[in-house]
Structure 1
């Protein structure tokens, strides 16, 4: 019992199996996580080291270089970068994709341990951090109301933050805006001098008094007691009453000396206040507080955001009525919107494919059976995605969309063959078994042809880097969908056909009416189209040189025209927000930055329409920076969604054009568009400048930046660089010899100055369950001017107070903020953001020219250009290799199917032709070629060859049946026109929604759909004419070669006969006799073949062996006409053979008579 027969003989079991699979698919669909892109592992590790108050150059020399030298030997390392800042070193390590980062982390720790003893003693232990996309916030909530920012922050920290951090999926809540609460201990300098104390000493005493420690355990009366010493402050009075020192008063002779306790309240002002402000937050220019929500690693963003939204709804009801929590930014909105648009495109594409099926088949039952394969295959695919761990994202849904048009092909092939059996009046069950069993091998081969296209990408995912990780989901989704369609075609379709596909017979009444008229009109249309196409193929065969050279010229023109279409790295994503990064000169205060941002915001409001929210943050810091960045700010404009947007309101693209005009209105201020959190788009063009001389490096970077700003304004929107203005600095120059004499060291001096000016956190005070920092510092009046530094006292190793002025002096300088290095050499990167739509190759050549014309060459300086163009070229090379490997695999599958090494090459001619359609569709739509286009080409290679396979395979079949070469080419083309049109249209039309109406956020997938649409449309059309032509040319040469070989053989035989003494007349007589025998043998063979064909006509399937692009069941009338034509052809052949036989006999008789006359004459 065959595989198919098992399913057909057990229809109930088969149906139940598919019902269970669909039910599992439905369950898995609602269980699949939702995300914008697939989960990607970023191959980055960071080594973070703190180094007191050391300057950038000291950090670089004594810390960063030592770490770089050791870490450069870590296995799998691709690039080593570092940043040396005041008091901090960051070493950023980029690994090759596919590197085991857990093993790499262990290797990093081992390398650090090797050089730990060589690091400065003041430096803390290096910390290894693994980069994770989940470190970026997924939501931004704003708390607003008529209260001070400090009051709102207190509410946020005490109530909102704890409640939100309890939610599953939420990792942390970062509070921005307002001032953080603290217990401030302000000490006037004169009191420190009076009591001989220092800020550091007082901070140490506070920390020593506010502790809780364990004292072990003790057993008493058979009970084990744990011992705890609780010395934590319970009130602010406890802190004020802390004894700082003891003094003994002199005895008056009559009494013992008394001990005087010096308490904190005696020398300092202790109060509950706020820390120095480092950040400001505004919502629509009103002071507010923002909550940045970060999700847990491995958790789904959409699920976490939904839980936060529900929690915010409850919190809005619980907090004071004059306050409200507003969701001002949510990265998951675009995720849901994007995936919704892709799913909508999938559904519309499926419906359009079914409509195309019905137009061609004009049978509800047939259309239902084939159309049913789409949702069933989709749900089984979703189930396989669930078990493979693939989320519902833009890439995976794009793969499903690309597979929609191909899901029906296998089912059509099987159904058409079953229908052919039904037309011979075979029983339904027998027809289902035989019709599908005959097609199993061919549709399996065809499916493998498409599947093998994606195998190289799956196998070489690591080599493709981030693009490989992204499109791995697409490859698996298409593979799953094609395998599912194969399973449905060989298991479910035969069962449905055995039950629901009776042979329709049209009654007399049905020969009238609208339905009949429509059917006849379609039949007439397809017949006329087929006849016209046949005449077109015949004309092309007779003018094949003109046709081929025309196509070749068109192909060359298409490749030449690429330079006019242009390149971009990634399509520009649409989102409902734009963000501006604003940077003022270093040293700018928080208030100064806030004023510039407010002015800029007002200008933007004057031109923008449809702004929903404007959220602004000024200042801030992160673990990647060594101090608060008071000179930086971010303005984010949030617009209404497309469905809420009124006519004339701006979206992100129109808003960028308007806002960009104000970039140069603020001298000394850098303004640029920041990349959205969800975006994987353009990073711009990067000019890398390397030089060991820091001054020369900075000067060259400045010259490059100025040259680009001056001469590149027509194609560059903004130019930024790692080069930062020198930070205004009061440098304390220490006299080391004098310092050593006084019993001091640099670390203790730096720590005391930092504590006095910035304050030092002595301990934490707990109030109502919340920990508040206790900050000890000099009183504000004693730390306002540079001259106040001279009056700071430092405690030496003997307990004496030494003024700073006795061993150091203050100099006003500027210092480098950050020193950048790459692969162990100093580097500065200048980044140019370019005008949207300008081709990358043009940008690259213009930047090269600007640098060559304006930057003097210096052997000590190295300038290289990287960025989008270099990344795209790298992707082209990698994906080009993948496409070549895929084409080789397709060739192997076709060669195995045809058992020929020539026929696959005929089919492969369709691939370059399809590129004409790709270039044309990009030119028509005005879309730039990009990296995603390459992925579309890979998909196209797997689909375009199927039409050629159909034609070549069916032409071979007709040739075996005795058709002449030209007749076989024309007849095969005419017979397969409808199947090719149907398969092409189901694929192309299903892609139209995504190709031309992608919706906001879906532009990343549009190039794939556009590429396949253009390539399939033009490639399939040209395949209908090119394949017969190439087949005719190749096989004509084969026949000529065979004839030449036969002629050579005949000539050799003739020479041998002449050598044996035969005369020319004898040889001619023997050749005539041989030809007669051959003719009679051929005639007999033709009669035998005709009889055999007529006998097997009812059971023989005219479909091609390889039928991935579906042959369609012809109508009963057409089938009869075809049979009649074949019978007439056989009769003609029989008559022709008989005539040849008679002519042979007559010729023989004439030759005998001539010979007889010659003999008579001789006599």
Structure 2
């Protein structure tokens, strides 16, 4: 117990399970490269090497301007360390095929720890950009010193750059060309390995300092020398410390800001890390300028604390309900003995879970809530049998010893079959499996502790208690040889009479039961509400993606996104809003971003307990506010709970012809937009826009003494500038680029025709041999497993199921005139749902096989094993009946896990009942099967009722969508915790209730069935013999 308490105190606390994502990302930056060239020169050479790695399940490539990204997804055999090593080796082989101008590839392993647990915003309208950046750097240093913090990443800040700005007038006066500048910089900014000199008396290294280290080194570089003197860079260039040209903008709560995204180390407590970050920020802000404002965004700790408190409150409520039922049924002394098993099993589970390195998250807590009703089953059976023995005159020590010995194998078989049902869930592959694996592991730990308590500690504690004086004799002992149950009081007497009738007519019971089960299955086929991958939970966060078509500057994108932001803010109920605007604001390749996306808003809603509207209503308000914004496409990106799958409908088109893919994508998109029930439709086809292509006439250029390199360098001076070196100022940790470029007034599209390059004939306009032509813009080229792909996606509107909409789209695709070169398939939630249902079916089958093996070993009878497993069928049908009555859809994960869990729960009653039946047969061989089955059913009524009622009653509030917290003295209907677990809890409660009511009648009747069939067979034989004798 002390070890359990210590584990509970020390175990890290977080919201979601810490899962290992089997994905590694490789990025190859190349400044200025087009998407087409990025695909041809960067993506495809890397694909050839990466696809040969063992264990690769899917290889996605994204060719964008200036960057190539490859996302490698591994199968269930994923080993992070080995996978990273294999990827690194493949990248080393592939990078020799890349252009020499490509930067070093970046390899990054995707991890759940990468996602920020809190974001700190540094803003202020009256604060300069440099002050915000320096404040953010100071806070970053303070945050990264907090124990448990993995990284504090600054987002939304422009990179610093040292610009060497050319003075065109001075250059022309001195007769210096841009080519002269670049040539002198290249010759004087080069690492020279001069070697060593051996003098015979020693060896000395020779150094030639030649690399730019300070800003002054740049200005001192000579360009040309003549009799008049030396012309250096300081004569034609001025230095300017500034930032790179803005490509995106960041705002927090409608103010310019820089964000610091804080992620924690794996295994660290989320609550403790966030508290440490807040404390460090509040301490550091004392040294910041007063005008700097600090805000906290997307703080996960309040939600985590609420989840933990709510689930702990529900566990306490369930414990109270369970104990109330147990004490009412078996008395205070026995109820107290059973109650001791709850903290014992929980603390034992904490030891086990902590030893595995797991965190205390909501999956672990629900596993304990699920195990709460099951963990006292064994103790109830032992205590109930001991009570019966003490009622017969046995002393407590002997009674509990005999009860533990008598029920040892039934309880072991009962717990073993339950664990056999949960065992396959531990081998659930993929991210979904890692997410759900915490549940069966916790149930294992809880039930292992309950088994130890029921068979060891409960008998010892029970033997120490004094027997209750004046104990009533068990009324079932007075039934006698007449098997008359009419005098028994209350429910037991009524049940005995009904059960007696059932065991006398087992054939009719079997017929009615089979008809009832098939009738419910048929009813579900007609009245069922379809299926969904995961559950829908009231949002506390949401996102809004903003897109538009055309060529826009970063400032124009900012203005368009700000217009949408203002409309959203006017809706109200917003705690904080974090906005990014500009190119790449949606997260980059692989994030689900479309080509027309220009901005993204992350919105945190106010506390649901303080606002009048629920989260759904607030999000609908956002949806109405952003509808119809002129020239802008804005859509809601809803918060995903559980494994991420993206939009509800995802249609993938695969082929080699980009133009044909775009044509078919537009056709499918038009159909989705015309469908009722589909919203937020988008695609990844190229958006309307242009790129300017400058074609150099090489022959004309050569005749003048120019070439493509000189033209390209001249254009770079007018656009982003030419990188001439890097240096490290004292004020920053990272190196700063040094770029040579023209002044602001000499840049821009209109200056292209005026641009001149040095030739044999002097300074010549590039328009003399360069033609300019507009080309359709290609934003990103998507590839998968060596093929080009595009996506058309959409969400199901409220009240519509993705499964129904997908079937409608699938039927339309059968008749649609899709080009044969394009392969169409459904991805996303549909694919994950099919995989999940396939695994659930396999796990269910394997569970039945494992339970069957255990039961045959226990009973040595295939017929009795079949009877035990028949309750699994009844519980599954009960789940379907519950879905019909509640109107819930079938959740592939939650309902599926509920069915598998039920398989292990429901068999427990049948195991103990049949074991008692066999014991009664050994004690009373003179009884008929009908008499033995009836007496066994009455004998096991109370323990079966208690075990079923405690399991179902503990989950009943959550199954009803109600969260009752006795500790917090609160009741909430439809809260996020209850909504999240309602389908799983509802499946268990409905299946358990239906199956228990049936098995209390059906199982005893089926135990009497062989005798009834034998009587029927004898009557038929007698009838045939009489007919034969008459005819003779």
TM-score (norm 2): 0.88
In structure 1, C-alpha distance between the alignment counterparts of 2:398 and 2:206, rounded to whole Å: 88
Q: CA separation of 1:781/1:419 partners in 2, compared to 1, >3 Å: closer, same or farther?
A: same
Query: Where does residue 381 of structure 1 map in the other structure?
Result: 349
Query: Where does residue 477 of structure 2 map in the other structure?
Result: none
Local SS of the residue matching 2:340: helix
How far off its partner does 1:473 sit? 1.5
Q: CA separation of 1:391/1:294 partners in 2, compared to 1, >3 Å: closer, same or farther?
A: closer
CA contact (8 A) 1:730 1:810 kept: yes
CA contact (8 A) 2:677 2:800 kept: yes
Query: Where does residue 140 of structure 1 map in the other structure?
Result: 119
In structure 2, C-alpha distance between the alignment counterparts of 1:1019 and 1:51, rounded to whole Å: 64
Check if 1:570 corresponds to 2:549: no
Q: CA separation of 1:780/1:347 partners in 2, compared to 1, >3 Å: closer, same or farther?
A: same
Query: Where does residue 28 of structure 2 map in the other structure?
Result: 49
Q: What whole-Å deviation, never above 9, does each CA across 1:678-701 have from its counterpart, x for those lacking one?
A: 653552211111232221111111
Structure 2 alignment gaps of length 5 or more: 473-484, 964-974
Q: CA separation of 1:300/1:193 partners in 2, compared to 1, >3 Å: closer, same or farther?
A: farther
Q: What whole-Å deviation, never above 9, does each CA across 1:713-752 have from its counterpart, x for those lacking one?
A: x211111111131442111112234456667665665455
Q: 1:247 aligns with which of 225, 238, 241?
A: 225
Query: Where does residue 968 of structure 2 map in the other structure?
Result: none
Q: CA separation of 1:1001/1:247 partners in 2, compared to 1, >3 Å: closer, same or farther?
A: farther
In structure 1, C-alpha distance between the alignment counterparts of 2:401 and 2:531, rounded to whole Å: 52
Higher relative helix content: 1
Q: CA separation of 1:78/1:195 partners in 2, compared to 1, >3 Å: closer, same or farther?
A: farther
How far off its partner does 1:829 sit? 0.9
Local SS of the residue matching 1:879: helix
Check if 1:325 corresponds to 2:294: yes
Local SS of the residue matching 2:499: helix
Query: Where does residue 67 of structure 1 map in the other structure?
Result: 46
Q: CA separation of 1:440/1:544 partners in 2, compared to 1, >3 Å: closer, same or farther?
A: closer
In structure 1, C-alpha distance between the alignment counterparts of 2:107 and 2:212, rounded to whole Å: 35
Check if 1:86 corresponds to 2:47: no
CA contact (8 A) 1:38 1:473 kept: yes
Query: Where does residue 887 of structure 2 map in the other structure?
Result: 926
How far off its partner does 1:981 sit? 1.0
CA contact (8 A) 1:579 1:637 kept: yes
Check if 1:723 corresponds to 2:685: yes
Query: Where does residue 912 of structure 1 map in the other structure?
Result: 873
Q: CA separation of 1:147/1:92 partners in 2, compared to 1, >3 Å: closer, same or farther?
A: same
Query: Where does residue 910 of structure 2 map in the other structure?
Result: 948
In structure 2, C-alpha distance between the alignment counterparts of 1:146 and 1:200, rounded to whole Å: 43
Q: 2:414 aligns with which of 446, 469, 475?
A: 446
Counterpart mapping for 1:532-547 below 5 A? 532-541=494-503, 547=509
Query: Where does residue 498 of structure 1 map in the other structure?
Result: 463
CA contact (8 A) 2:19 2:111 kept: no
Q: 2:430 aligns with which of 465, 469, 473?
A: 465
Q: 1:690 aligns with which of 642, 654, 668?
A: 654
In structure 2, C-alpha distance between the alignment counterparts of 1:760 and 1:675, rounded to whole Å: 42
Q: 2:334 aligns with which of 352, 366, 377?
A: 366
Q: CA separation of 1:678/1:317 partners in 2, compared to 1, >3 Å: closer, same or farther?
A: farther
In structure 2, C-alpha distance between the alignment counterparts of 1:135 and 1:369, rounded to whole Å: 47
How far off its partner does 1:299 sit? 4.8
Q: 1:878 aligns with which of 830, 833, 839?
A: 839
CA contact (8 A) 1:697 1:828 kept: yes
Query: Where does residue 412 of structure 1 map in the other structure?
Result: 380
TM-score (norm 1): 0.78
How far off its partner does 1:384 sit? 0.7
> In terms of mean alpha carbon deviation, does 203-212 or 823-832 score higher?
203-212
In structure 2, C-alpha distance between the alignment counterparts of 1:113 and 1:232, rounded to whole Å: 27
> In terms of mean alpha carbon deviation, does 952-961 or 398-407 score higher?
952-961
Q: 1:864 aligns with which of 825, 833, 836?
A: 825
Counterpart mapping for 1:346-357 below 5 A? 346-357=315-326
Query: Where does residue 478 of structure 2 map in the other structure?
Result: none
Local SS of the residue matching 1:565: coil
In structure 2, C-alpha distance between the alignment counterparts of 1:146 and 1:50, rounded to whole Å: 34
Q: CA separation of 1:609/1:291 partners in 2, compared to 1, >3 Å: closer, same or farther?
A: same
Q: What whole-Å deviation, never above 9, does each CA across 1:402-430 have from its counterpart, x for those lacking one?
A: 11111111122222333344345444434
User: Between Structure 1 and Structure 2, how many residues are aligned?
Assistant: 993
Check if 1:339 corresponds to 2:330: no
Q: CA separation of 1:155/1:50 partners in 2, compared to 1, >3 Å: closer, same or farther?
A: closer
Local SS of the residue matching 1:330: coil
Query: Where does residue 232 of structure 2 map in the other structure?
Result: 262
In structure 2, C-alpha distance between the alignment counterparts of 1:303 and 1:923, rounded to whole Å: 44
In structure 2, C-alpha distance between the alignment counterparts of 1:1004 and 1:203, rounded to whole Å: 63
Query: Where does residue 656 of structure 1 map in the other structure?
Result: 619
In structure 2, C-alpha distance between the alignment counterparts of 1:972 and 1:506, rounded to whole Å: 22
> In terms of mean alpha carbon deviation, does 192-201 or 720-729 score higher?
192-201
Q: What whole-Å deviation, never above 9, does each CA across 1:214-267 have from its counterpart, x for those lacking one?
A: 999999xxx99999999999987x368534424222xxxxxxxx5234242x32
In structure 2, C-alpha distance between the alignment counterparts of 1:628 and 1:1016, rounded to whole Å: 47
CA contact (8 A) 1:169 1:295 kept: yes
Q: What whole-Å deviation, never above 9, does each CA across 1:1044-1068 have from its counterpart, x for those lacking one?
A: 99999x99xxx9xxxxxxxx9xxxx
Query: Where does residue 481 of structure 2 map in the other structure?
Result: none
Query: Where does residue 958 of structure 1 map in the other structure?
Result: 920
CA contact (8 A) 1:587 1:631 kept: no
In structure 2, C-alpha distance between the alignment counterparts of 1:106 and 1:668, rounded to whole Å: 47
In structure 1, C-alpha distance between the alignment counterparts of 2:432 and 2:1011, rounded to whole Å: 43
How far off its partner does 1:470 sit? 1.8
Counterpart mapping for 1:659-674 below 5 A? 659-674=622-637
In structure 2, C-alpha distance between the alignment counterparts of 1:268 and 1:524, rounded to whole Å: 110
Q: What whole-Å deviation, never above 9, does each CA across 1:108-167 have from its counterpart, x for those lacking one?
A: 444455555544444445443322233333322222334235154233244222222333
How far off its partner does 1:828 sit? 0.7
Local SS of the residue matching 2:740: strand
Q: 2:562 aligns with which of 594, 598, 620?
A: 598
Q: CA separation of 1:792/1:707 partners in 2, compared to 1, >3 Å: closer, same or farther?
A: farther
CA contact (8 A) 1:619 1:628 kept: no
CA contact (8 A) 1:150 1:180 kept: no
How far off its partner does 1:753 sit? 2.6
Q: What whole-Å deviation, never above 9, does each CA across 1:873-928 have from its counterpart, x for those lacking one?
A: 22111110110110111122112111111011112222222233322333343332
The two structures, once aligned, show a CA RMSD in angstroms of 3.8
Query: Where does residue 316 of structure 1 map in the other structure?
Result: 285
Query: Where does residue 763 of structure 1 map in the other structure?
Result: 726
Q: CA separation of 1:789/1:269 partners in 2, compared to 1, >3 Å: closer, same or farther?
A: farther
Q: What whole-Å deviation, never above 9, does each CA across 1:256-302 have from its counterpart, x for those lacking one?
A: xx5234242x3234333333222322233233332222334665544
Local SS of the residue matching 2:365: helix
Counterpart mapping for 1:732-743 below 5 A? 732-739=694-701
Q: Larger radius of gyration, structure 1 or 2?
A: 1
Local SS of the residue matching 1:533: helix
How far off its partner does 1:376 sit? 1.0
Local SS of the residue matching 1:896: helix
In structure 2, C-alpha distance between the alignment counterparts of 1:47 and 1:768, rounded to whole Å: 31
How far off its partner does 1:835 sit? 1.6
In structure 2, C-alpha distance between the alignment counterparts of 1:628 and 1:846, rounded to whole Å: 24
In structure 1, C-alpha distance between the alignment counterparts of 2:875 and 2:654, rounded to whole Å: 45
Q: What whole-Å deviation, never above 9, does each CA across 1:487-510 have from its counterpart, x for those lacking one?
A: 112221122112124242269xxx
Counterpart mapping for 1:763-1162 below 5 A? 763-764=726-727, 766-768=729-731, 772-788=736-752, 791-793=755-757, 804-852=766-814, 855-931=816-892, 932-960=894-922, 961=924, 962-995=926-959, 996-997=961-962, 999-1001=975-977, 1003-1037=979-1013
Q: CA separation of 1:338/1:851 partners in 2, compared to 1, >3 Å: closer, same or farther?
A: same
Q: 2:135 aligns with which of 142, 156, 160?
A: 156
How far off its partner does 1:387 sit? 0.7
Local SS of the residue matching 1:288: strand
Q: CA separation of 1:990/1:726 partners in 2, compared to 1, >3 Å: closer, same or farther?
A: same
Check if 1:169 corresponds to 2:148: yes
Local SS of the residue matching 1:1021: helix
Query: Where does residue 577 of structure 2 map in the other structure?
Result: 614
In structure 1, C-alpha distance between the alignment counterparts of 2:606 and 2:793, rounded to whole Å: 31
